[in-house]
Structure 1
Amino acid sequence: MTDLSSTPAIPVTIHRGDYAPLEWQIPDIALDFALGVEQTKVSAALSVVRHAAAPAPLLLRGDGLTAAEVRVDGAVWNDWRMDGSDLIVDLGDRTAAVVEVDTVIAPASNTQLMGLYASNNMLCTQCEAEGFRRITFHPDRPDVLSRYKVRMTGDKATFPILLSNGNCVEQGEAGNDHWALWEDPWPKPSYLFALVAGDLVVNRDSFTTMSGREVELGIWVRKGDEARTGHAMKALQDSMAWDERVYGREYDLDLFNIVAVSDFNMGAMENKGLNIFNTRYILADPDTATDVDFDGVEGVVAHEYFHNWSGNRVTCRDWFQLSLKEGFTVFRDQNFSADMGSPPVKRIEDVRLLRAAQFPEDAGPLAHPIRPDSYQEISNFYTATIYNKGAEIIRMMATLLGPERFRKGTDLYFDRHDGEAATCEDFVRAMEEGGDIDLKQFRRWYEQAGTPRLSLTLAQDGDDWSLDIRQAVPPTPGQPDKAPMMMPLRLAAFAMDGSGATLPDTLVTLSGAAQRVPLGRFASRPALSVNRGFSAPVIVDFERAPGELAWLAAHDDDPFARYEALQQLMLDTLVAAASGDTGDTQAVIDAVAQTLAGAAADPAFVAEAVLLPSEAFIGDQMVTVDPDAIRRERLALQAAIGVALESEWRAVLAGAAPPATDLSSKAKGGRRLRGVALAYLAATGQDDVPALAFGIFSGADGMTERQAALATLAHGDSDERAHALDIFYQRYRDNPLVLDKWFQVQAWSLRPDTVDAVKALAQHPDFTLANPNRVRSLYGAFSGNQAAFHQADGAGYRLIADLVIALDPKNPQTAAKMIPPLGRWKRFDEARGAMMRAELERILAQPGLSRDVTEQASKSLAG
């Protein structure tokens, strides 16, 4: 809750070690809603049972609520008091009671989008992590599991559809109103509660489970959007079948609903039987969604469905265990998406995201373990560390155990903790027992923040070669000293001399600070393929022999390792150039040319492999980040590759584009490669490229090609740029999700006037701070535009700080997510660092600052 006092309150720090079971449990809850957009009345009946040996009052959390009346066992009760925002009810010696509390809330005024709020005249909820206390007084912690009965009454015209968790068991009408009673037979924590009421239409289908039950499926959207739900429905059915096949997990209700909401802080929410989604991850058709969007819909639908077991049937004991459900479920959705498409390309995408979002988090002031020890605002811990690094830690356990033993471990985990609130330790213990493995040292991944670094050295004894590996985990805030980690490291070695000598793919378990691995006999120094498949989330330091990376990029039998070799070759060249040295540009050009030769067979892989590393990732390799030098040298290398391989890039574009309706991996790869080819051609500065890009833009049969061409044009200053942006806007001005793309491509622009352009776009009639998607499309994209955000005069920093200050009173969750880029001030030169610190100080000086922003800004400032 936002503190509206004149000075910021000091946030309370919550510690994992202070966890204690609640004195009261609530096996059953009955909720009665009298619905209204401006005002909704809530009557909650909590059946409470004392679990403590000594009498203790019932503590019910609240946020912005006032108790209109409290009743105990049907009688008005006066022995209650408010403690700040919380309600305390003294029940004396009672060991059980029904406590009823009446509250009144105002959904239309709820700009935080937490609890019950209004979105385009529709009512919906978001309760994770602590939003239920904004609906009614409740302990609102994940270890309180209850069966819910929910009755909703509302105007038939305003709320023709009434949805909640579980099954609709009764419904009826009373004059202009109608009502529905929903029951969820499965005990769940309050964060999984959901309610939706509004004017919606449904795409219905069904799924028959492995035991023969037919489950009714429904995707609910605004009228006119139903034609864009087919891909999401197929993804849901594919997810249900995959979870049965791979994990043996069957859906447990006769009904599964999804509702798409345009105003949503998150991507989606796994509420039991009633998933609520950001429209971004439901609505898709070839005209309005790119291939990346289609993949996003598929992956997020799968993620939320998989939560039915890894998060709902087995939930978290407390929020410190958040990665128990999120890391495990991200791992599950990653493997699902790999099975649905190209496993190598999916792995490349996942690792790229980890390096772009999580590695900088691990190296900055907001570093934390995947099981944190403390927090001030839990919303700040929905991070890349919890999700993406958490998934890598599950992946490492799966690698160490192998498929059969990992499946035994997951079966044991689900069966043992079904219907319980579990911990990360419970999961690891199930892996140990099911997989017959000792993971005592592996537990350090849950305890230690930071990305381990492996330093590799080849050692030779005649023709016998070995690899010396040293590992170190860098200090992070609050954790100066680290112990060695246990991890799986896949490696191989190849003779580059044509002799055919090889060390085949080998899995090594690292555990000590130093370890020697024999590689076998080679007449000369072998080429080392290390961390194949990215078997461990680490940084590898290894001095390569001349030509080794180029050889691996062409010959390694592991697709991810080939990609890594080419990326490392590019990275070494770019870092050297940005640091004032000379990089091997010709080696990069030759390696790209050789990789491009295989485009016909695997365009999806080639498109990923020939992309240059991002500016941010290049900066991560430098002692002091120089954003201007990085952009200059990256553009120069892009231009050099574009010029040297111009005929090859033009040949890619001369071929027919795969039809936008073809979502096969090969077709998506073909479209992706065409976008890469256009970008390389644009870097050459050839006069005909703007017209070429505009031709692709105008003739595209789908959004993937259209947006790629628009993004290319947006970087320049041609007449075609302005024309294309205007055409795009006029065509899609009434489609919010597509209009987000229009804002985004301009915020990503490489033009020198991007800061001023973003300022102007913030004043555009279609821009609003009320919609998180729109905020992210403009300001989120801009903060990732490295040279623009880090403009030498500090204008980019001021722009983001101004946003945080303006947005915090309205939506502190979204405001807090904009702060981390400012928190990396120590990585930049003294002048930029001072300006970033000054903006963090300005944010912290604001009166009435939320807990969300206070925690992020103060930790970022501390560095």
Structure 2
Amino acid sequence: MRSEEQKIVYLQDYKPSDYLIPKTEMWVDFSPERTQITTDLHIERRAGVEAGTPLELDGEQVELVSIAIGDDVLGAGQYELSENGLKLLDPPQSFVLSTVVEVAPEKNKSLEGLYRSSGNWCTQCEAEGFRRITYFIDRPDVMSVFTVKMVADKDLAPVLLSNGNPMDKGEMSNNRHFALWHDPHPKPCYLFAMVAGKLDKISEKFTTKSGKNVDLNIYAEPGKAELCRYAMDALVRSMKWDEERFGCEYDLDVFNIVAVSDFNAGAMENKGLNIFNDKYVLADPATATDQDYALIERIIAHEYFHNYTGNRVTCRDWFQLCLKEGLTVFRDQEFSSDERFRDVERIDDVKGLRQSQFVEDSGPLAHPPRPSQYEQIDNFYTSTVYEKGAEVVRMLMTLLGKQTFHEGVDLYLDRHDGEAATIEQFIKCFEDVSGRDLSQFQKWYTQAGRPRVSYSTSYAAEQKLFTLVLKQEVPPTPGDDEKSPLVLPIRFGLVSNNGEDLTWEHAEGAEVQDDLIVTNEDEVTVTFHGVSSAPVVSLFRGFSAPVTLDTKASLEEDLHRARLDSDPFNRWESLQSAIMNIVAPAMDVDGPELDIELLEPVAVALSQTLDSQNLSPAFKALCLKLPTYQDYTQRLGQNIDPDRIKTVRQKVSEVVADKLRGQLVTLYSTLHLPDDYQPNAEQSGMRDLRNQALSLLATLKEGQLFELVERHYREARNMTDRQAALAIMCANAPDRAVELLDDFKRNYTEAMTVYDKWLGLNASIDDAQTIDRIKRLMDDDRFSLETPNRVYALFGAFTQGNPTQFARADGAGFELIADVILQIDQFNPQVAGRFAVAFRIWKNYESKRREAARAALERIKQSEKISPNLSEMVNKTLGG
């Protein structure tokens, strides 16, 4: 049951704050047990607000020492104090409120507000953490210019950092020192940050396009600074790209990044002082994989890009979260695409969207990118807000064209600079530059779920007419049965027998321009005149809209696109579709046996893909990654039996591997990489292709192939190959994997980022000992439930990467995660709430597993003490 009555926040109830805080001055005195914070808030009553209107300031887990207005100390009857904040009963029109509070960072295990970890003080204020530092109007539309003086013992905290520019520093008595920071840009308090402690750094200079020199620094725990070199390189490239692509020039004298080992999220875009989970900063070939490097590059870019799309223009309220996050994810996707292989990056982004956001869209946690209500804002940092939000921005670019789209972004950043904006204001900028009515398009932001699109085609040879009928339907989502049709930008091509895109004289029935169809109807018929031969239609090229495409395409049509489509995304998509259409019926608990002969032409198409001289190794590696467990659960929808899916998937891999055996062996043996390791796109793609060839071969489960995998591990000269070999052995030969995992732990896990890899590999092993193994790992000296990275590594790998054990028929996997969630909830509700998402498809399991999952969720719900974060997630997941 709920630990307290939860208040639902509604978008329709928004109104501006009665008071503004244009200037904030802080004095922070750090000490190990208690940190004292003196704050002067320069407060003004908003014009039109009546005199005598109370001022409510947010504050949690802070101890008030003193309070005054100007020189007048406030007494009883002038303010009210509660667990959630401070209320001034009759404040003047304009005044300075001075408060002194104390907080206990050492005891703060929630990692929100100000906390101390590994000897360093750190803050995390998004979404509502600043209220755990001092009293303030903790909402995004109250923006203030901050000046902060930080004081600490020089031995405990030789480094003192905050937002903005350094203004002064100096020595004090008793071995203490200070640093003064001033941020000239008004910002909401969620972008406030401080770090104090013992840190090493690397530095670089960056010259902006206008000639201004910026000091770049990346700080890390002692001894780790040299592992930040790639992150610095990514930062410099991000800054240059943002100037060239979006015209965004950095606006402060310094830009600092701090890598910390205890952090709930990946990173935080605080103005001028980005704070990162160190797993997304620290890297060298001995400890980081190619995937790690790519994530570091993207996340460094993402947080830097927030400087304009999130900081200079922020959100009016938390309902607008996708305004900053969706736009910035789109920007980091574009950056990665320009830095690497665009076709591969696009496919990877869509795979991630489908495996996370599509599942969210199809279950009890479905919500629009901009919802109309929420209970706990911490639970609102979802794949729908981020990844689907990015897809909506991408559709804007597709609809309007790249040039007009950029004009719209320029107008948005100029018109709302220094403001807290809304989705409506964002869309209005694109309407103004394009002259196009985007009111129906805006439904993408406000309507949950995604369209299911079906199509049919016909060709009249004598008239040279090709007819395409498109239908869209948006299935019901919780609390919303009535759906409107959405604007669909559909990139398309008409593929001829030789793979060329056929032309046409003109089209009618919908808006068609070049390779783009735009429709906003439930059903539309598009007729193309002057098509010289019967084509195979290629729809949603580049995944031009986040839809589910229901296709009755024949195997021949799928394989035709897989071999010849000029669009890389649809080449990959059609190969996946061909396999899914063959295999999916056998996945159902009541389905037929798999007809392996049908996989013969798929293997031929894969063989042709591997032989192609026009495709990159990275693209070929993607094609060798056969459909995942999550792909099949989405295809099945209901009555999911993980054991059956596993069995059929294994059979598919064996059949394909056997048919491609010679080609895969040759590929593995002859694909050689330079001795000098580089995490660039070219080398990463080659390593990925070689490892995928070995992975597919290993599914044949032959002794000589396992010997090859072990040799691959022993001879590996980088973490990418070493971890790949371990993952292959864990997946196909658990007994043989034990010795390698022991060797890996002894020789390679000194760095905690590598230790986390070891945890995840152990949790991925699918055998009868999995639950006991995980419990033993929880007792390991280096494991702690209080460290999010350890939790994500162990239990993230279990819930996401080991579905047959997490969703065991006896319910043991569900019970284990329920126990862990309840333990974590006692000190870190954010992480607990995020792990409850693991149960989001519980209603889709077959009956025995469904009841076991329900029982675990009900046990969490009925716990005597449960946080509001976890309560909301469990209740929504259960459907209550």
Range class of TM-score, shorter chain:
over 0.9
- Write the distance in 1 (CA, Å) between the matches of 2:661 and 2:414: 58
2:567 to 558, 566, 574: 558
Deviation at 1:624, TM superposition (A): 2.3
- Write the distance in 2 (CA, Å) between the matches of 1:66 and 1:445: 44
Instruction: Kindly provide the amino acid, as one letter, of the partner of residue 60 in structure 2.
Output: D
Instruction: Kindly provide the amino acid, as one letter, of the partner of residue 698 in structure 2.
Output: A
Deviation at 1:720, TM superposition (A): 4.4
Question: For the structure 1 residues 533 and 745, does the alpha-carbon distance in structure 2 shift closer, same or farther, using more than 3 Å as the test?
Answer: same
Deviation at 1:141, TM superposition (A): 0.3
Where does residue 3 of structure 1 map in the other structure?
none
**Aligned residues of 2:2 and 2:871 also touching (Cα < 8 A):** no
- Write the distance in 2 (CA, Å) between the matches of 1:820 and 1:769: 18
The size of the alignment, in residue pairs, is 857
Query: SS of the residue aligned with 1:715?
Result: helix
Alignment of 1:619-634 (within 5 A): 619-622=633-636, 623-634=638-649
Instruction: Kindly provide the amino acid, as one letter, of the partner of residue 161 in structure 2.
Output: L
- Write the distance in 1 (CA, Å) between the matches of 2:200 and 2:555: 62
Deviation at 1:752, TM superposition (A): 4.1
Deviation at 1:518, TM superposition (A): 2.3
Where does residue 481 of structure 2 map in the other structure?
480
Alignment of 1:257-296 (within 5 A): 257-296=256-295
Where does residue 697 of structure 1 map in the other structure?
713
Where does residue 161 of structure 2 map in the other structure?
163
Question: For the structure 1 residues 179 and 501, does the alpha-carbon distance in structure 2 shift closer, same or farther, using more than 3 Å as the test?
Answer: closer
Deviation at 1:719, TM superposition (A): 6.1
- Write the distance in 1 (CA, Å) between the matches of 2:285 and 2:577: 34
**Aligned residues of 2:498 and 2:564 also touching (Cα < 8 A):** no
Question: For the structure 1 residues 207 and 737, does the alpha-carbon distance in structure 2 shift closer, same or farther, using more than 3 Å as the test?
Answer: same
- Write the distance in 2 (CA, Å) between the matches of 1:752 and 1:436: 62
Alignment of 1:604-683 (within 5 A): 604-622=618-636, 623-655=638-670, 656-659=672-675, 661-683=677-699
- Write the distance in 2 (CA, Å) between the matches of 1:458 and 1:829: 36
Instruction: Kindly provide the amino acid, as one letter, of the partner of residue 553 in structure 1.
Output: A
Where does residue 123 of structure 1 map in the other structure?
121
Residue 101 of structure 2 is aligned to residue 103 of structure 1: yes
Query: SS of the residue aligned with 1:157?
Result: coil
Alignment of 1:1-80 (within 5 A): 8-51=3-46, 52-55=48-51, 56-78=53-75, 79-80=78-79
**Aligned residues of 2:701 and 2:733 also touching (Cα < 8 A):** no
Deviation at 1:438, TM superposition (A): 1.4
Query: SS of the residue aligned with 2:648?
Result: helix
- Write the distance in 2 (CA, Å) between the matches of 1:297 and 1:326: 17
- Write the distance in 2 (CA, Å) between the matches of 1:212 and 1:500: 47
Deviation at 1:497, TM superposition (A): 7.5
Deviation at 1:520, TM superposition (A): 4.5
- Write the distance in 1 (CA, Å) between the matches of 2:852 and 2:582: 30
Query: SS of the residue aligned with 1:534?
Result: coil
Instruction: Kindly provide the amino acid, as one letter, of the partner of residue 552 in structure 1.
Output: R
Instruction: Encode CA deviations 1:740-787: one digit per residue, 9 max, x unaligned.
Output: 000111212233432332222222222210111110111111111221
Query: SS of the residue aligned with 2:180?
Result: strand
Structure 2 gap segments, 5+ residues each: 505-512
Query: SS of the residue aligned with 2:470?
Result: strand
Question: For the structure 1 residues 555 and 600, does the alpha-carbon distance in structure 2 shift closer, same or farther, using more than 3 Å as the test?
Answer: closer
Deviation at 1:617, TM superposition (A): 1.4
- Write the distance in 1 (CA, Å) between the matches of 2:682 and 2:360: 34
Deviation at 1:653, TM superposition (A): 1.7
Where does residue 318 of structure 2 map in the other structure?
319
Deviation at 1:836, TM superposition (A): 1.1
Residue 585 of structure 2 is aligned to residue 588 of structure 1: no
Q: CA RMSD in A?
A: 1.7
- Write the distance in 1 (CA, Å) between the matches of 2:854 and 2:570: 39
- Write the distance in 2 (CA, Å) between the matches of 1:84 and 1:202: 39
- Write the distance in 2 (CA, Å) between the matches of 1:551 and 1:33: 66
Moved more, 617-626 or 596-605: 596-605
Alignment of 1:431-446 (within 5 A): 431-446=430-445
Where does residue 528 of structure 1 map in the other structure?
537
Where does residue 833 of structure 1 map in the other structure?
850
Where does residue 455 of structure 2 map in the other structure?
456
Moved more, 533-542 or 56-65: 56-65
- Write the distance in 1 (CA, Å) between the matches of 2:779 and 2:676: 34
Instruction: Kindly provide the amino acid, as one letter, of the partner of residue 56 in structure 2.
Output: L
- Write the distance in 2 (CA, Å) between the matches of 1:378 and 1:659: 48
**Aligned residues of 2:140 and 2:315 also touching (Cα < 8 A):** yes
**Aligned residues of 1:309 and 1:414 also touching (Cα < 8 A):** yes
Deviation at 1:286, TM superposition (A): 1.0
Moved more, 210-219 or 596-605: 596-605
- Write the distance in 1 (CA, Å) between the matches of 2:35 and 2:431: 49
Instruction: Kindly provide the amino acid, as one letter, of the partner of residue 651 in structure 1.
Output: T
Deviation at 1:501, TM superposition (A): 4.6
Instruction: Encode CA deviations 1:504-540: one digit per residue, 9 max, x unaligned.
Output: 9710111111111224556765212111000000000
Residue 789 of structure 2 is aligned to residue 794 of structure 1: no
Moved more, 570-579 or 248-257: 570-579
- Write the distance in 1 (CA, Å) between the matches of 2:251 and 2:302: 17
Instruction: Encode CA deviations 1:627-678: one digit per residue, 9 max, x unaligned.
Output: 1111111111111111111111111221224446223322111100111111
**Aligned residues of 1:495 and 1:502 also touching (Cα < 8 A):** no
- Write the distance in 2 (CA, Å) between the matches of 1:263 and 1:574: 43
**Aligned residues of 1:566 and 1:610 also touching (Cα < 8 A):** no
Where does residue 148 of structure 2 map in the other structure?
150
- Write the distance in 2 (CA, Å) between the matches of 1:116 and 1:797: 34
**Aligned residues of 1:658 and 1:670 also touching (Cα < 8 A):** no
**Aligned residues of 2:822 and 2:860 also touching (Cα < 8 A):** yes
Structure 1 gap segments, 5+ residues each: 1-5
1:772 to 771, 776, 788: 788
**Aligned residues of 2:315 and 2:422 also touching (Cα < 8 A):** yes
- Write the distance in 2 (CA, Å) between the matches of 1:718 and 1:272: 47
Residue 560 of structure 2 is aligned to residue 543 of structure 1: no
- Write the distance in 1 (CA, Å) between the matches of 2:72 and 2:716: 68
Residue 207 of structure 2 is aligned to residue 208 of structure 1: yes
Instruction: Encode CA deviations 1:723-742: one digit per residue, 9 max, x unaligned.
Output: 21112111233211111000
Residue 825 of structure 2 is aligned to residue 816 of structure 1: no
Question: For the structure 1 residues 569 and 54, does the alpha-carbon distance in structure 2 shift closer, same or farther, using more than 3 Å as the test?
Answer: same
- Write the distance in 2 (CA, Å) between the matches of 1:769 and 1:211: 48
Deviation at 1:394, TM superposition (A): 0.2
Question: For the structure 1 residues 858 and 389, does the alpha-carbon distance in structure 2 shift closer, same or farther, using more than 3 Å as the test?
Answer: same
- Write the distance in 2 (CA, Å) between the matches of 1:816 and 1:585: 42
- Write the distance in 2 (CA, Å) between the matches of 1:720 and 1:510: 55
Where does residue 824 of structure 2 map in the other structure?
807
- Write the distance in 1 (CA, Å) between the matches of 2:502 and 2:144: 62
Instruction: Encode CA deviations 1:15-56: one digit per residue, 9 max, x unaligned.
Output: 011001000000000111110232101111100000042121
Moved more, 381-390 or 654-663: 654-663
Question: For the structure 1 residues 211 and 500, does the alpha-carbon distance in structure 2 shift closer, same or farther, using more than 3 Å as the test?
Answer: closer
- Write the distance in 1 (CA, Å) between the matches of 2:752 and 2:163: 28
Deviation at 1:183, TM superposition (A): 0.6
**Aligned residues of 1:377 and 1:851 also touching (Cα < 8 A):** yes
Deviation at 1:63, TM superposition (A): 1.4
Instruction: Encode CA deviations 1:123-182: one digit per residue, 9 max, x unaligned.
Output: 000000000000001111000100001111111000000000011111111231111111
Moved more, 113-122 or 682-691: 682-691
- Write the distance in 2 (CA, Å) between the matches of 1:356 and 1:541: 17
Where does residue 731 of structure 2 map in the other structure?
715
Deviation at 1:496, TM superposition (A): 2.8
Moved more, 529-538 or 760-769: 760-769
2:877 to 846, 860, 863: 860
Instruction: Kindly provide the amino acid, as one letter, of the partner of residue 57 in structure 2.
Output: L
**Aligned residues of 1:493 and 1:519 also touching (Cα < 8 A):** no
Give the share of equivalent positions with the same residue, in percent: 42
